[in-house]
Amino acid sequence: MSDESKKVIVYSTKWCAYCKMAKKYLADKGITIEEKNIEEDPDAHKELMDKVGGNFRGVPVIDIGGTIVLGFDRAKIDAALKTA
């Protein structure tokens, strides 16, 4: 999964337990992620809002090759990884 089109971005915060679980889940699968902290990085926050059309309910939000997964949803993450 090194192809740029299969890039995985995790939008998170430092204090979010589900973000940590999602990052560990992806790491355990051997997936390299780019982490963007939406509290510390205003550009990351704006980028996330643009991707979810302002429909923000919380972190983590995971962008897997353009497929957006809201929350730590193993089934949706696995499905997105297969199609990415």
Domains and CATH numbers, the chain: 4-83 (3.40.30.10)
Question: So what's the pLDDT on residue 55?
Answer: 80
**DSSP line for the chain:** --SGGG-EEEEE-TT-HHHHHHHHHHHHTT--EEEEETTT-HHHHHHHHHHTTT----S-EEEETTEEEESS-HHHHHHHHHH-
**Would you say residue 2 has pLDDT above 50?**
no
Mean pLDDT to the nearest integer, 30-48:
96
Residue 5 has pLDDT above 60, yes or no: no
Q: Is pLDDT above 80 for 81?
A: yes
